[in-house]
């Protein structure tokens, strides 16, 4: 299993009139966490996309327990629990500064060849870098 953490501070525009972070904005927090997790693994998502492989989201599931508020410094914990095949699954947990678990998210993405627009297996160099964690 590979686990990583990233800090994200809540921006004003991400809150709504309830004073909470709008429920749809966590998608971006999870995405930042995924990209930083990959960077920690030695992979750059942008380079992968530029090389012809994209990773569109296939499923996205969130369970919201507590709200995040403006200016909160959140910690997003990201785990990759299984070696990816044609799909890769990220599990996220978001905590506030008091250590309270605010929500959990699961995001599955599919490796797609940009030219053919068809699913492909995770690239070799990607799998190579993940091996030591599994």
- Residues near a second copy (CB under 8 A) are 9, 11-20, 22-28, 31-32, 35, 44-46, 49, 54, 56-64, 67, 69-71
Which is closer to a second copy, CB of 116 or CB of 131?
116
Closest CB 27 distance from a second copy, rounded Å: 3
Closest CB 62 distance from a second copy, rounded Å: 5
* Local structure of 16: helix, strand or coil: coil
Which is closer to a second copy, CB of 28 or CB of 100?
28
Quote the tokens at residue 70. 């403006």
Sort 58 into a burial class: Cβ within 10 Å, 0-12 / 13-18 / 19+.
middle
Q: Which of 61, 73, 76, 72 is nearest to 23 (CA)?
A: 61
* Local structure of 12: helix, strand or coil: helix
Which is closer to a second copy, CB of 67 or CB of 123?
67
């Amino acid at each position: 299993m590979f686990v990583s953490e990233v800090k994200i501070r809540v921006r004003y525009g991400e809150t709504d009139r309830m004073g909470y972070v709008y429920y749809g904005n966590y998608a971006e927090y999870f995405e930042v966490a995924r990209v930083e997790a990959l960077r920690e693994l030695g992979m750059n998502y942008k380079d992968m996309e530029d090389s012809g492989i994209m990773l569109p989201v296939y499923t996205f599931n969130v369970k919201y327990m507590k709200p995040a508020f403006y200016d909160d410094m959140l910690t997003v914990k990201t785990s990759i629990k299984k070696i990816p095949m044609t799909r890769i699954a990220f599990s996220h947990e978001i905590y506030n500064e008091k250590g309270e678990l605010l929500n959990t998210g699961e995001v599955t993405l599919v490796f797609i060849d940009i030219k053919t627009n068809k699913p492909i297996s995770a690239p070799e160099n990607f799998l190579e870098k993940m091996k030591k964690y599994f």
